[in-house]
Amino acid sequence: MPVVCAYCGKLFSSFNIYKRHLKIIHSKCLTGDKLVCGQEGCPLDYLSMLALQRHISRHHKSCSDDTGTDLTLPIEEVSVVSNGNDVMNTLSQTDDGEECEEHVENFPFNVSDEIRTKGAIDDAAHFVARLRSNPKIPLSVTAEIVDACKDMFASTMSSLRLQTAALLHQNDVKCDSGTKLLDTMSVLENPFTGLETECKQTEYFRRNGYYVAPHTFTIGQKICPVHTIDGFAYRTKLLTAEYVTLTDVLRLFLQLPGVLDEVIAYLKCDDSEDCLIRDFKDGSLWKNHPVRLKYEGVPNAVVIPVFDFFDDLETANPLGSHSGVHKIGCKYTIVKAFKPSCNSKLDNLILNMVFRSKDRAVVSNQQLLDIYLSEMSQLETCGFHLEVNGTEYQIFVCLVQVTGDNLGLNSILGFVESFTATYCCRQCKVKRDDFGNNLTESADVLRCRENYDHDVSIHNCSVTGIKEDCCYNNIPSFHVSQNVY
């Protein structure tokens, strides 16, 4: 789509070239300055390049210069990535540097799959991923950084490519090396192709296996009053949560180079000869785990222990008047098959589920975690198939512990959430008034499978400290009296 400059009347074959012209020649900023359209005498002005580009593409799809020369190229044929062979053929017909620059500037470019594999696009995607994964950088700022980098690369590499093309023409260089050099420079003019917006970035990461999108699922419903013309009415509102499938995340994670080898080597490493417990795998809970013992001698079968971590977080001011209104609950998965130096990094925590904390007052823990518990039961009993470096593995995943603070654990596991209750401890059945007198552990008051099942059947939290049966007990090898600390 040819664009005419609203300030000097010069004609450009694409909006990207016109944008660089406005920035360099007319000192126009990307945002803040009034940018007059000027196409076909249009008097409208905009405060950003993006808004101006949208306006021109929608309302001025075809423009021509004052001399009547037809330059109406389709927008699909104009790009910042060139085809080197066509450029060299065009250069061979020019006589001086100025004509060379004009032909290169107005030539329709196309993207070749061969150039895309050279790594420029992947490097740009890695740069964007680092920006988006930084919690200190908002997504809006990430978009501004990408736009600024695009302008910097475009202005620098475009000038360098034109000078290189002119130099090759002056020395009558016509070879594949020169063509490939121009192609590479063309890619570097805009390495963020396909990464311009947040939506395109997310789609790129998903398509290349770098991102597992969460999916929304319904956990229940509630009746909400709404204002109408006639007064109040009641409508049903669906309660939803976001869930990230653990199987998909682990499949991609374990396929990364060297990750599965590190998992297997660490789980097989036995450091318990000196009777020191350095990690969870050195303890009796994992050494005697039924799933681990079942597949201990099976070739290419890997049993991976994982932890659950749950806690609520306040997105608004916790001391303000809206405290609790926007509180959300988050559940994470921790893969306990790496060294403590790796597990201690927050980057290695896998976000598993997000929901509104207020919804837990309407639905039970079983309704909330049903989708997760079904997946964990499937991973423990059947696992999933994985092929790495030509070797086929069967991966089993076992939930071995649920961790969190006292309030988070008591709430998600079905115990009383008030620590002034008579039986507020999830480990034992000692009364709260006797906490200061019991200084040694007694097996008679510890919770076990037998007394836990009996207390659940009573249905009286004031004498048992249990509000509901723990939904985690639906996982075959898990029980709340053994796997929670």
In-domain check, residue 237: no
The residue type at 50:
L
Q: Are 251 and 393 spatial neighbours (Cβ–Cβ below 8 Å)?
A: no
The 3-state DSSP class for residue 176 equals: helix
Where in the sequence is the domain holding 176, given as residue range(s)?
A: 3-207
- Domain identity same for 196 and 264: no
How many CB atoms lie under 10 A from the CB of residue 298? 11
Q: Are 335 and 304 spatial neighbours (Cβ–Cβ below 8 Å)?
A: yes
pLDDT (0 to 100) of residue 109: 39
Q: What is the number of residues in the chain?
A: 485
- Domain identity same for 201 and 260: no
- Domain identity same for 249 and 385: yes
pLDDT (0 to 100) of residue 269: 82
- Domain identity same for 203 and 256: no
- Domain identity same for 198 and 251: no
Residues 204-255: tens digit of each pLDDT: 998 888 889 999 999 998 888 888 887 788 888 899 999 999 999 999 999 9
Q: Which H helix or E strand runs over 313?
A: strand 301-313
Residues forming beta bridges with residue 354, ordered by sequence position = 242, 330
CA atoms of 456 and 440, how far apart (whole Å): 26
pLDDT surpasses 90 at 475: yes
Long-range interactions of 296-302: CB distance < 8 A, separation 24+ = 298/394, 300/391, 300/392, 300/393, 300/394, 301/383, 301/393, 301/394, 301/396, 302/260, 302/263, 302/264, 302/267, 302/393, 302/394, 302/395, 302/396
- Domain identity same for 185 and 331: no
> Which one has a higher pLDDT value, 316 or 404?
404
- Domain identity same for 405 and 295: yes
Residues 117-140: tens digit of each pLDDT: 446 778 888 889 889 888 888 888
For tokens 């037998």, the residue is 450
In-domain check, residue 425: no
pLDDT surpasses 70 at 363: yes
Count of domains for the chain: 2
pLDDT surpasses 70 at 85: no
Terminal Cα-to-Cα distance of the chain (whole angstroms): 65
Q: Are 424 and 416 spatial neighbours (Cβ–Cβ below 8 Å)?
A: yes
Q: CB-based contacts of 188: which residues, under 8 Å, 6+ apart?
A: 120, 153, 157
| 292 backbone dihedrals φ, ψ, rounded to 5° | -65, -45
- The mean pLDDT value for 12-34 works out to 76
- Domain identity same for 11 and 65: yes
Q: Are 350 and 335 spatial neighbours (Cβ–Cβ below 8 Å)?
A: yes
Question: Would you state the structure tokens that stand for residue 48, as one six-digit string?
Answer: 């950003």
Q: CB-based contacts of 39: which residues, under 8 Å, 6+ apart?
A: 3, 4, 6, 56, 59, 60, 63
CA atoms of 186 and 180, how far apart (whole Å): 10
- Domain identity same for 200 and 256: no
Distances (CA, A) of 355 to 42, 211, 312, 328: 49, 20, 9, 6
- Domain identity same for 130 and 263: no
Distances (CA, A) of 427 to 2, 33, 458, 461, 481: 74, 65, 18, 15, 7
